[in-house]
Amino acid sequence: MTIQAYRFALDLTPAQQRAVLAHTGAVRVAYNWALARVKAVMDQRAAERSYGIGEADLTPVLVWSLPALRKEWNTAKSEVAPWWSQCSKEAFNSGLDALVRGLKNWADCRSGKRAGRPVGFPRFKSRRRSTPSVRFTTGAIRVEPDRKHVVLPRLGRLKLHESARKLARRLDNGTARIMSATVRRDGCRWHVAFCVEIHRAERRPARPASAIGVDVGVTYLATLSTGEHVPNPRPLDAAQRRLCTLGRRLTRRLGPDRRTGRRPSNRWRAAQAQLGRAHARVANLRRDGMHKLTTRLTREHGTVVVEDLNVAGMLRNRRLARHIADAGFAEVRRQLAYKTKWYGGHLVVADRWYPSSKTCSGCGAVKAKLPLSERIYTCTRCGLTLDRDLNAARNLAALAHEATDARSGRESLNGRGADRKTPLVRQVAAKRQPGIAFAGQTGTIPPQGGTTDHVLVRAH
């Protein structure tokens, strides 16, 4: 069983758009109300501690769980939102659930249970800045027999922009079960995403024994170890001129002003919608190219090897940040991670400090330095000359054999390790002995008590 999402565009009438916006507003109201309650209790307890009050006499703690917050909301909803009966209960539950998850992430980050980038304390949702979204988990959620309409609680029958036949077939066959439905506005179009538990048949790649290395980059979206260069569409660069034109047009219109209470003009709304459609098109083009590439690789090859790139650190380069973000390095790896499971393959992630670009794919010699401007790799030992990205992709493909040997329990014949510092080329003037790894060679660490003859190593 696999959890998978099916996303469809909606064609809503003006009345249906107002109903959906009302539900997304209910999500925001419940979220902000619960967050205000949590902050008030936290501030009150902090103030009482500063007065010297004991822990037993402090204001009772507000439990950060969905049932507890839902109970508090049901008690106060008649005063906070007198119109609560006009919206589905799932709308308020969505806002409370989002706050619970945000508080949990913040608490886990402070206690060290959560890995990754720091997570801040939840902030209030703004009507203009937040993305309208509402999630339904109970009630009437189904696809109509004509496969052109869906039914959601309180919203009724909504028309789809495209056919839902792929999802409908699985539902009719009994191999899928809808768990939830989320309505969200991306740009200027509404979408509905069904979270579905499906039973996927076991599949195998077309070439199970094949291993391929994938080196992502800016010049090319991906360079494969087979020698193929996948072109980078660069949708943001292609649309940059139009985006600048639409942005300048938007600034000339009368937009909203909180200080004076001015409402935006119709021309400002039209310009904002046009700019949103342009940004949505860029995102769709980028997503389409990545899905086509990752699906082709996982369907054909049994093992795919990628690098563990520090994308957040790479984005600090102000000269390349926009191009790196446009390429979507992290998204390629994310899609490969779940698609290899779908199609019966295996994903190998190279260590972040593995010198794939500095290592010669022919003899294994490692260069001390390799500037980014040097696009052609030339080995000073064996004289190999080839494209820098192709050399890195071949080195990544070589790691697939190490991963295969590790899973089978056999000793790896060409496993290559990596550390935080790349050593200089090691000059070895000795007879190669079994069990000893030399510079440019791959193998195991010398056994305990093993000796080497006349091994000269230049360290940093």
For the annotated catalytic residues, the residue numbers are: 215, 307, 389
306 closest CA partner among 347, 246, 357: 347
Assigned token pair, 417:
């390790």
Structural contact between residues 215 and 222, judged by C-beta atoms closer than 8 angstroms:
yes
Structural contact between residues 185 and 133, judged by C-beta atoms closer than 8 angstroms:
yes
The angle at the Cα of 271, spanning 266 to 277, to the nearest 5 degrees, equals 125
DSSP label at residue 257: B
Structural contact between residues 220 and 24, judged by C-beta atoms closer than 8 angstroms:
no
88 closest CA partner among 151, 3, 178: 151
The angle at the Cα of 198, spanning 195 to 204, to the nearest 5 degrees, equals 125
DSSP label at residue 343: T
Compute the chain's Rg from CA coordinates. 28
Continuous segment of H or E residues that includes residue 90: helix 89-111
DSSP label at residue 253: S
Structural contact between residues 170 and 196, judged by C-beta atoms closer than 8 angstroms:
yes
